[in-house]
Amino acid sequence: MTESLWRQIADDWRAHDRDWTKPGFRAVAVHRFGVWRMTVRPKLLRAPVSILYRALFRHCRNRYGIELPFTVKLGRGVVIEHQGAIVVHGGCVIGDRCIIRQGCTLGLRRLDDLTAAPVLEDGVELGAGAVILGRVRLGAGARVGANAVVLDDVSPGATVWGIPAKSTRSTDKEA
């Protein structure tokens, strides 16, 4: 199990241009560590590892402004390009090769359903300041413009922008 943790972190390091000093890489590595720690058995051995994870998570959140809890389902090759004001709800699903830029929020629209978190399919790109709220699905290869607020599903390959976000074009043929 530890071998797969190191393999995932090595993949993330390559996705972040082989620069271990990037805050985005560090936040993703801490996330991977947090997921891995839940496999440690028995719970007595997991306790010190959990304390270390919590300290590292708080460091990423407080120093870099990247809140990426271990409960997020994070795909391979996800890139967090810049630090600052990135908040990801713990129930989010982020596919492979997604790019998240500074100031992005992936969260809930209402507090009456705490499981209604966004789903980003493979290859989604979020512009700086993008806000994705509620149980929305961003299709594979979708792009969200800077400062857009997404409240509805986005079809694969589409580009959306504005408040609320509207589609400008799509690579798939829609009638």
How much is the pTM? Answer: 0.92
**Distance from C-alpha of 136 to C-alpha of 125, rounded to nearest angstrom:** 15
CATH superfamily for domain 2-169: Hexapeptide repeat proteins (2.160.10.10)
**Distance from C-alpha of 18 to C-alpha of 54, rounded to nearest angstrom:** 25
In tens digits, what is the pLDDT along the chain, a chain of 175 residues?
Answer: 678 999 999 999 999 999 999 999 999 999 999 999 999 999 999 999 999 999 999 999 999 999 999 999 999 999 999 999 999 999 999 999 999 999 999 999 999 999 999 999 999 999 999 999 999 999 999 999 999 999 999 999 999 999 999 987 655 555 4
Who's near 32: CB < 8 A, 6+ residues apart?
5, 8, 9, 12, 74
